[in-house]
Amino acid sequence: MKISSGTLSGTVHGAVKEYLELVGDQPVTNLYDLVLAEVEAPLLECVLQHTGHNQSQTAKILGLNRGTLRKKLLRYRLM
């Protein structure tokens, strides 16, 4: 399967592959949660900046309700 490096999925694929190569034979746990946290925080931050920190617009763009967005912003200390 060829994955383009110019896409989000290609970027994630490359980053995960590089991470796994770096850890080598060391045990890896909670990779799913690690990747979500590493991707979710900058996603929220970028969309917030795009909307001028308008939480209603940010929630709409992300397909989240505003309450869920606020919980995530608090989790990542973005508000």
Do the Cβ atoms of 4 and 10 come closer than 8 Å? yes
2: confidence class by pLDDT, cuts 50, 70, 90: low
Domain ranges of the chain: 8-75
User: What CATH superfamily is the domain 8-75?
Assistant: Homeodomain-like (1.10.10.60)
Helix H segments across the chain?
8-23, 31-50, 55-62, 66-75
If we measure between CA atoms, which residue out of 36, 62, 35 comes closest to residue 48?
62
Structure confidence by residue, pLDDT tens digits, 34-71: 999 899 999 999 999 999 999 999 999 999 999 999 99
Task: Between 68 and 2, name the one with better pLDDT.
Answer: 68
User: Does the pLDDT value for residue 73 go beyond 70?
Assistant: yes
